């Protein structure tokens, strides 16, 4: 039961911050001049790179924290604040300031291969996704739970690929308005997750200092 609960929490957290549905509009605009095969190849390569980055940061997160003398709880608080800022942008249907900017999108249109930048990073795996992945791995106290967190990351990016691969059909089904509604709902869920990150982090810091 604990494993199922943790998987649902991990999947909801990482899928909400990656938000592939919200990224559809950007993906479609960047690949508008490509045919279906080229767009599918870009989606496959971008998702594979983004997933690899997320897992690398999740696994090496402990070493990164130690190198900078930070704790998992300080990362929870800082990450929670960052996620809340992203959530506010999502609830206002704005491009997240930590995700991809208008200048980056404009620059990307001049590049031949956009799978690494800006789709893989920062559109899919930005600072928020990296922070969430590290915190999830740290939250899992046992090896089984850590493996479950990795599985949640893998499932998130597998679904991201399916969503990007079906970009045209989903865009026709949802339309711009539908995609923005989904983004706002994701933003509300992300805000709740962010508050939980901050609350748990502050409580743990308080207990360690008491």
Question: Looking at the predicted structure, is the pLDDT value of residue 209 above 60?
Answer: yes
CB of 165 within 8 A of CB of 42?
no
A 10 A CB-CB count for 144 gives 12
Which pLDDT value is given to residue 141? 85
Q: Which residue has the tokens 């339309």?
A: 175
Write the pLDDT tens digit of every residue in 50-107.
999 999 999 998 788 888 888 888 888 998 898 898 888 888 876 555 555 555 555 5
Rounded Cα distance, 74 and 123, in Å? 25
Tokens of 163: 């969503």
Rounded Cα distance, 20 and 184, in Å? 13
Write the pLDDT tens digit of every residue in 113-163.
788 888 998 889 988 899 999 999 988 889 999 999 999 999 999 999 999
Q: Which residue has the tokens 């300080």?
A: 74
Strands (E), the chain: none
**Which of the four pLDDT bands, split at 50, 70 and 90, describes residue 14?**
very high
> Mean pLDDT, to the nearest integer, of 3-10?
94
> What is the residue range of 125's domain?
2-209
Write the pLDDT tens digit of every residue in 26-44.
898 888 888 888 999 999 9
Tokens of 1: 């039961």
**Which of the four pLDDT bands, split at 50, 70 and 90, describes residue 23?**
confident
A 10 A CB-CB count for 61 gives 20
Write the pLDDT tens digit of every residue in 170-194.
878 887 788 788 888 888 988 998 9
DSSP string, 46-68: HHHHHHHHHHHHHHHHHHHHHHT
pTM of the full predicted structure? 0.84
Domain count, the chain: 1
Rounded Cα distance, 14 and 109, in Å? 28
> Mean pLDDT, to the nearest integer, of 197-210?
90
């Amino acid at each position: 039961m604990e494993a199922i609960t943790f998987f649902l929490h991990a999947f909801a957290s990482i899928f909400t911050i990656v938000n592939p549905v919200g990224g559809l509009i950007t993906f479609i605009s960047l690949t508008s001049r490509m045919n279906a095969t080229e767009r599918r190849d870009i989606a496959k390569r971008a998702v594979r790179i983004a997933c690899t980055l997320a897992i690398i940061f999740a696994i090496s997160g402990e070493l990164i924290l130690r190198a900078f003398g930070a704790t998992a709880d300080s990362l929870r608080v800082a990450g929670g604040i960052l996620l809340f800022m992203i959530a506010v942008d999502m609830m206002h249907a704005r491009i997240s300031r930590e995700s991809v900017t208008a200048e980056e999108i404009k620059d990307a249109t001049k590049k031949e291969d956009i799978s690494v930048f800006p789709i893989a990073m920062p559109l899919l795996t930005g600072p928020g996704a990296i922070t969430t992945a590290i915190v999830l791995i740290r939250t899992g106290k046992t090896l089984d739970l850590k493996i479950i967190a990795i599985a949640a990351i893998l499932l998130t990016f597998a679904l991201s690929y399916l969503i990007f691969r079906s970009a045209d059909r989903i865009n026709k089904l949802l339309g711009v308005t539908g995609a923005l509604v989904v983004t706002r709902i994701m933003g509300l869920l992300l805000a709740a997750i962010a508050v939980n990150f901050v609350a748990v982090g502050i409580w743990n810091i308080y207990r360690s200092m008491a």
